[in-house]
Structure 1
Amino acid sequence: MHGLARGVSEMDCLRDWPEPIVRVQSLSESGAEIIPARYVKPPAERPSVGPPGVTEACIPVVDLALLEDGADASSCDAATVKAIADACRGAGFFQAVNHGVSPGLLRRAREVWRGFFHLPMEEKQRYANLPNTYEGYGSRLGVDKGAILDWGDYYFLHFLPLCLINHQKLMNEYRETTDEYGEELTKLCRRILRALSMGLGLEADRLPEAFDEEGVCMRVNFYPKCPQPDLTLGLSAHSDPGGITILLVDDHVAGLQVRKDNSWITVRPLPDAFIVNVGDQIQVLSNATYKSVEHRVTVNAASERLSMAFFYNPRSDIPIGPIPELVSPARPALYQPMTYDQYRLFIRQRGPRGKKLVG
């Protein structure tokens, strides 16, 4: 976040997609045995590169049963706070169990959104998106012409500070379940953010102050079967630009990989657990005490895969920099202040490109 986004004009992100949009699901269902060249990753980025990993010993599991909310946040179980903080200092990811969101709601959320992606194409096309907000049904991130694309479709929507038009047009079944899911995950993110604040030795509300009038959004990812999964990715390597991400995935099929040193670790999801990670804004606010870690998504030939990435982000128009209490002569500020709006303009223009804005 060293000033790279400052020169990006907002017009770069308001134009239409640079090329006609092709739905990856349509390519998958065509029966073709060879994927188009625009989805073939350079050799160094292909999922077959590097040794495979085993995740149970590498991605911490944190029990959130004793993580209090609201006025009781300061009395959170010290061991839970420490477990969350330790995970975000090291792995940058953890699996959250006993998180308080009912398994029934998780099941309904996955069911209704899987149903969306299996609607007839003409119905889904009613929600086709543009790159200015990504709101709606999409198949690419970033607007660089000629870019190598990812093997996945998605539906992107906003909850806070307001829901945009496509979400309001959704059928009742999608809207009601999604609104309930969004309310529950917003509460969970607030609990986790307070714990992260205490894990830095700060008051519980110190980190949440940067998230006043927070931005809350979700991207439902659909990764169809791929005839050549060794050549492409469902989502290219990146770190999340925002604050906290809570990911709900299909329990029966793995796809998320997290970078650990020079290897990619495949996350084996626990039933009814969330996968939680901090984004670049938390790394900046914590002056790199907490780490936003690079990750990617693989695809496979045997199974489609659905994931629901819930993003809890800071207010977009206030400069974000290291919290003053975490800056000292021995540990100077590592980042210059920048608004989240400025930061994500750069991301929207280029799409996922590793972890280059914060080190």
Structure 2
Amino acid sequence: MGSLPVPSVQALVAATGGDDVPLRYLRPEAAAEAVTSDGDGDGEAQIPIIDHQRLLLELDHGGEESARLHRACQDWGFFQLVNHSVPDDVVESMKANIQQFFQLPAETKKRFAQEQGQLEGYGQLFVVSEDQKLDWADMLFLYTQPPEMRNTKFWPDQPATFRSALDRYSGAVKDVSDSLLATMAKNLGLKREAIADKCIRGMQKVRINYYPPCAQAEKVVGLSPHSDANLLTLVLQVNHVQGLQIKRNGSWLPVKPVSGAFVVNIGDMFEVLTNGRYRSIEHRAVVHPKEERLSIAAFQFPNIDTMIGPLKEMTGHEDDAYKTLDLESFMKIFFATKLEGKNFLEQMKLN
């Protein structure tokens, strides 16, 4: 597994002012796809908002918020989580460290660059050929949980508080993810441990995204359309610039992040485990013509020895819709192809 090395887009913009966009980044046909401005045809202008504190109060007996979460997972595959348990100072420290990291000189950031055949580090992912179109973004990809999986040589030591901020943030976000998975299991009629047992030593990887401004923003894509491979993704918007869009009813719906909220989405593994009850959703990132955008996505995975296939409780009266693979094989297939909608999950279907 690994990704071919590509130039830093941030460095490119710094050198040229961003007016001159190299051919490999130009994708006018992608930008021409329909975008929904207000609402999506069924009266809903925004993805559902779920209150985490209310969910926690309902954990053992279900209730209105749990039902709202169930509908959000079935109908949208995306929701915003407010009133979560990650302390404000942990969130603000993480945001500040991300912004400071991307302000460092290019040579400093290169100290944490990906190595050949590796996914971790500063660079880009899913670049599998020399002629494929590229995303208008740089990123830092790190394994964060469990702690023994960390390769700290890729963890920036500048700014000085980066490592401690990420350590606190990743642990707090894992707790939120675990509590969401417990409620989701209950909502699906499963025992809580049906999913929780698969996540006792659950893995977490984070992708810190930097989307430079682009004078031809309407002709580039910040992050190619895709669905996430994992169980659950929690995204934090680092600055005020929006860019996340989800595919809904055939067109792109911009997500307007609520201040302090996590944007949460179902991943492919969750779709497979639930035999399609909860579905992963195609999404992408677009860029701004004048301002940079930053975000951090925490990808929650099950234990490394988990087999990824439909849970027996989810296939009582029907056939399995998906193959069963060990987690390592599942991830190898995912990272070996470029991001292209939900094509990866199509490879997992039996028919």
Q: Note whether the superposition's TM-score is higher than 0.5.
A: yes
Counterpart CA distance in 2 for 1:333 and 1:251 is 42
1:75 match: secondary structure: coil
Q: Which residue of 1 aligns with 2:115?
A: 130
Number of the residue aligned with 1:356: 343
How far 1:132 moved relative to its partner? 3.4
Aligned in 2, Cα 1:39/1:97: closer, same or farther, shift over 3 Å? same
1:34 deviation in Å?
2.4
Alpha-carbon contact 1:158-1:216 (below 8 Å) kept: yes
Aligned: 1:275 with 2:260 = no
Q: Choose which of 14, 30, 36 in structure 2 pairs with 1:52.
A: 36
Q: How far apart are the structure 1 equivalents of 2:155 and 2:286?
A: 32
Deviates more, 1:294-303 or 1:201-210: 201-210
Aligned residue in 1 for 2:247:
259
Does 2:102 align with 1:114? no
Q: Which residue of 2 aligns with 1:24?
A: 9
- How far the C-alpha of 1:73 sits from its partner, in A, is 8.2
Equivalent residue of 2:101, what SS?
helix
The answer as to whether partners of 2:239 and 2:294 remain within 8 angstroms in 1 is no
- CA contact 2:113–2:154 (8 Å) conserved in 1: no
The amino acid across from 1:343 in the alignment is F
Partner SS for 2:319: coil
Q: What SS class does the counterpart of residue 124 from structure 1 fall into?
A: helix
| Inter-partner Cα distance in structure 1 for 2:12 and 2:257 | 27
Q: After superposition, give the CA deviation of every residue in 1:120-166 in whole Å (9 maximum; x if it has no partner).
A: 11111100013634211113433222111000001111112311132
1:185-219 Cα deviation digits (max 9, x unpaired): 01000000001100101112211222242111101
The RMSD of aligned alpha carbons is 1.9
Does the 8 A contact of 1:66 with 1:76 survive in 2?
no
1:209 aligns with 2:194: no
More displaced 10-residue stretch of structure 1: 189-198 or 346-355: 346-355
> Deviation of residue 105 (structure 1)?
2.0
1:240 aligned residue (201, 214, 228): 228
Determine helix, strand or coil for the equivalent of 1:65.
helix
How big is the shift at 1:312? 0.5
> Does 2:48 correspond to 1:39?
no
Is this contact kept in 2: 1:127–1:166, CA < 8 A?
yes
TM-superposed CA distance for 1:316, in Å, is 3.2
TM-score (norm 1): 0.89
Matches within 5 A, 1:1-359: 13=1, 17=4, 21-29=6-14, 30-41=16-27, 43=29, 45-46=30-31, 48-54=32-38, 57-68=45-56, 74-75=59-60, 77-130=62-115, 132-161=117-146, 162-167=149-154, 170-171=157-158, 172-250=160-238, 252-329=240-317, 331-358=318-345
1 or 2 for the larger relative contact order (CA 8 Å, sep ≥6)? 1
Q: What secondary structure, in the 3-state scheme, does the structure 1 residue paired with 2:144 have?
A: strand
Q: In 2, are the aligned partners of 1:50 and 1:263 still within 8 Å (CA)? A: yes
Amino acid in the other structure paired with 2:249 = D
Once residues 33 and 74 of structure 1 are traced to their aligned partners in structure 2, the CA distance between those partners, rounded to angstroms, is 52
- Residue type of the partner of 1:141? F
Counterpart CA distance in 1 for 2:298 and 2:199 is: 15
Q: Tell me the distance in 2 between the aligned counterparts of 1:229 and 1:213.
A: 41
Q: 1:233 to 1:35 in 2, by over 3 A?
A: same
Deviation at 1:353, TM superposition (A): 1.4
The alpha-carbon deviation at position 169 of structure 1 amounts to 5.7
SS at the partner of 2:194?
coil
% identity of equivalent residues: 31
Cα pair 1:74 1:204 within 8 Å, conserved: no
Deviation of the 1:57 alpha carbon: 2.8
Bigger drift between 23-32 and 182-191 goes to: 23-32
Give the whole-Å Cα distance in 2 for the aligned partners of 1:156 and 1:358. Answer: 22
Structure 2, unmatched stretches of 5+, are 347-351
User: What stretches of structure 1 of length at least 5 have no aligned partner?
Assistant: 1-12
Residue number in structure 1 paired with 2:349 = none
Secondary structure in structure 2 of the residue aligned to 1:33: coil
Instruction: Please give the per-residue CA displacement for 1:88-118, whole angstroms capped at 9, x wherever unaligned.
Output: 1111000000012122322221111111011
C-alpha contact (below 8 Å) 1:67/1:76 kept by paired residues: no
Q: TM-score, normalised by structure 2?
A: 0.91
> Partner amino acid for 1:34?
D
